[in-house]
A and B are shown apart, each in its own frame.
Chain A
Amino acid sequence: MTEFTVERTERGIGVIRPVGRLTMVSAKQLTEAVAGLIDGGTARIAVDLSATEFMDSSGLGALVAGLKTTRQAGGDLRLAAPNEQVLTILRLTNLDKVLRPRDSVDEAFDRG
């Protein structure tokens, strides 16, 4: 079972941290977490992947869906600290051309 921790930093950035596997089974939870933050007025969201062991294409699909909803709410969605497997699937689908992962959550919204 995948766990999601959701918190808000002092700078007003929402941080979602999926722990374990982000797959077709847990993708919907991510989408809901994003929607929850936006409803609460936080549209700038960083997805902290440091504890995400494995991601499949459905997980990527949920990230893209999250990017859409945050953008439409005037914010943005950034990725932070993915492991090798996640980087590999990002490259395999070319999604790294759209979403460039940052090294850490702190850097996610460094320059705006």
Chain B
Amino acid sequence: MRTWALRFLVLLTATLGVNYVVWRWLASLNWDAWWIAVPLVLAETYSLVDSLLFGLTMWRVKRRGEPEPPPEGATVDVFITTYDEPLELVRRTALAAVAISHPHRTWLLDDGGRAELGAWAEDHGIGWIRRSDDWVDRPRHAKAGNINNALMATEGEFLLILDADQVPEPTILDRTLGYFRDEKVALVQTPQVFVNVPDHDPLGSQAPLFYGPIQQGKDGWNAAFFCGSNAVIRREALMQLGVSRYVGEVEISVHRALRTSKAVLAKAVKQLTPADEHLRASLDHVAYDIGRAQRELQRGMSIADVTYRFRQRVDSISRGLVESDLATLQADLAEIGAISASLEGSEGGLAVLEDSALAQMSHRDWSPLGALETVRTLLGSIDVDRGHEAQPVMPLATISVTEDMATCMRLHTMGWRSVYHHETLAHGLAPEDLGTMLTQRLRWAQGTVQVMFRENPLTQRGLTIAQRLMYWSTMWSYLSGFAALVYIAAPIVYLTVGILPVDSLGSDFFARLIPFLVVNQLLFFVVGRGAKTWRGQQYSLALFPVWIKSFTSAFGNVFLGRDLDFAVTPKVRQEREGAPWHLIKPQLWAMALLVLACAAGIARLATGEADPLGTWVNIAWVAFDLLIFSVLIQAALYRGYQADDQERQSA
């Protein structure tokens, strides 16, 4: 019955929304002012798609009942990931983890390598894992790397992953392991809830809409997301993913390495000077061997066999070269070292390789010997041993700073299932100041956009259409920054110069728009089941500069090889003097312009220049925008969680 009512509401919202936006495109555009009319209708179309995707998510909301008991004899490793959080905080989480009632082993994954923490862990029977020596001078891949490293050092059938601030309930495993009785279930995610947040939640830390209806909706389509913490994972699924990804990456990289090698050699042969003529035979030999390796791969010979023989042949050719030749090589060697170092430093892995280092290698003018050495180096770093990575197998995805989403999507493409269990089984700490919160949101948004660029869900084979749309829906929501710009600009344009992007504000306009807006809000209200979803709505518009920055910086990172300015979210409050207004400058400007536009609009109304209806509609719109932005004023003035302070003092 409730499902029936909800679906009716979803269909009604969709119908009214499509009715409005189609009419906007076909019959209402003010083409004389296309420069604002087109952006506005695009922004409205964006919002409609957002609303349709939300409706699709709600279509199959899955409320799972009581979980089954854990499978007999399940072995579990509890991973607590830490980098530089205060030791007190880490210890509290670790002790709570030890107290989990289901049999398990507790491990501190200490990326900070703090000896003090190690000694404490040993005293309490907790494992202390640091990065192995393999990680020295190789990309560390942040939290994903930390967990991948620990996977190789442990052996439990299931892994519970906890951020350093997420204090688990003793029942967390008893309540979640039962889902793994289904052999195809790879992941069980539980909510992330924060204890240091006041009721009015000025920083929008709680996500009751996401850890609730949205996750339950995604779950209905077998697309519940992995969110990095408070989740249990099946090791076999993760390792299977890691091994098959390894194969895929080796395939791509070996082919690229051979192609680049061929280009390097061809160029060197063309530029042979008479003095180097005696090297022609060696170059030709290697070029021939490259072709042979390519043909062997084409015929389906295994990659390890092909590259092993190829390396041996190149080595024996190199050994045949005389000492005097080697002396001329010194200059090239330094350059090869520099380029291969940049190969090794590339965070994005293969996606970045092709564009930067490989192109650099094939474009440079090498001496003949330099060319040979380049070929050797190339195969050395991009062969089946994946020499540029600390571990050949990286089960947790490293293509994004939000490794959780990318990993989960890959598990789904392999046919694994995920589960969202809607019960709070861990309590964490949220950022307590605006700056830290903004950094965290930027990081999430950047990570999501990175995945969108690198492994777009719409094109991933192995996902159902619904799963693709569930991932796409989350990515789409991060594009709201651009729409917000238009929603701010349009009323300003009308109130100051009187240009209306819509043909007329006749009854047609209101008759189509108002019902859609009302039903859309009603849908939010119904699915929210009394949760405070308004904060989330405010922030999705108010943080428009963050969303835009996430898009541009991720674009620069993925396609131009730029740094993401990645920052780890600090778990402790940042000390500061006064409110951090500088962090929300664009929004303050927007608010000021909106207020000034209202004044201008009223002045134009008074002088009879403006139409009363249009002016009041736009002033109402501005008032709504200001109501949205008002949350930032609260956020900037927020002084951190007070009840918590009192507790700490009395403790």
Task: Answer whether residue B301 sits at the interface, using C-beta atoms and an 8 A cutoff.
Answer: yes
Question: Are B312 and A112 interface neighbours, CB within 8 A?
Answer: yes
Question: Are B247 and A56 interface neighbours, CB within 8 A?
Answer: no
A51: B residues at CB distance < 8 A: none
B303: A residues at CB distance < 8 A: 97-98
Count of interface residues, chain B, beta-carbon cutoff 8 Å: 34
Task: Answer whether residue B408 sits at the interface, using C-beta atoms and an 8 A cutoff.
Answer: no
Name A64's contact: one of B153, B305, B312, B392 (CB within 8 Å).
Answer: B392
Which of A4-12, A14-22, A65-73, A80-88 sits within the interface? A65-73
A95: B residues at CB distance < 8 A: 243-244, 246-247
A65: B residues at CB distance < 8 A: 152, 391-393
B438: A residues at CB distance < 8 A: none
Contact A60:B243 (CB < 8 A) given known A65-B392, A98-B302? yes
Give A11 Cβ to nearest chain B Cβ, in Å: 16
Give A32 to B240 CA distance when docked, in angstroms: 21
A56: B residues at CB distance < 8 A: 236, 239
Give A42 to B402 CA distance when docked, in angstroms: 41
Question: Are B309 and A112 interface neighbours, CB within 8 A?
Answer: yes
B105: A residues at CB distance < 8 A: none
Question: Are A71 and B155 interface neighbours, CB within 8 A?
Answer: no
Instruction: With CB as the reference atom, state the residue of chain A lying closest to B235.
Output: A24
Question: Are A24 and B240 interface neighbours, CB within 8 A?
Answer: no
Give B289 Cβ to nearest chain A Cβ, in Å: 14
A-B pairs with beta carbons under 8 A, tally: 90
Task: Answer whether residue B435 sits at the interface, using C-beta atoms and an 8 A cutoff.
Answer: no
Count of interface residues, chain A, beta-carbon cutoff 8 Å: 27
Name A93's contact: one of B152, B244, B384, B385 (CB within 8 Å).
Answer: B244
B-contacting residues, A48-74, CB 8 Å: 56-58, 60-61, 64-65, 67-68, 71-72
Question: Are A64 and B243 interface neighbours, CB within 8 A?
Answer: yes
Name B385's contact: one of A24, A60, A72 (CB within 8 Å).
Answer: A72
A93: B residues at CB distance < 8 A: 240, 243-244, 247
Question: Are B247 and A100 interface neighbours, CB within 8 A?
Answer: no
Task: Answer whether residue B250 sits at the interface, using C-beta atoms and an 8 A cutoff.
Answer: yes
Give A111 Cβ to nearest chain B Cβ, in Å: 8
Task: Answer whether residue B386 sits at the interface, using C-beta atoms and an 8 A cutoff.
Answer: yes
Instruction: With CB as the reference atom, state the residue of chain A lying closest to B302.
Output: A100
Instruction: With CB as the reference atom, state the residue of chain B lying closest to A28.
Output: B155
A67: B residues at CB distance < 8 A: 304, 384-385, 392
B248: A residues at CB distance < 8 A: 94
A-B contact pairs, 21 of them (CB 8 A): A24-B155, A24-B156, A27-B155, A28-B152, A57-B243, A58-B235, A61-B152, A61-B243, A64-B243, A64-B246, A71-B308, A71-B384, A71-B385, A92-B240, A93-B243, A95-B243, A97-B247, A97-B251, A97-B303, A98-B302, A99-B302
Q: Which 10 pairs from chain A and chain B are nearest by CB? A: A57-B239, A100-B302, A71-B385, A57-B240, A68-B385, A94-B247, A93-B244, A93-B243, A98-B303, A24-B155
Besides A71-B308, A93-B244, 17 more A-B contacts (Cβ < 8 Å) are: A24-B157, A28-B153, A28-B155, A57-B240, A58-B235, A60-B243, A61-B239, A61-B242, A65-B392, A67-B384, A67-B385, A68-B385, A76-B308, A92-B240, A94-B244, A98-B247, A98-B250
Residues of A within 8 A of B (CB): 24-25, 27-28, 31, 56-58, 60-61, 64-65, 67-68, 71-72, 76, 92-100, 112
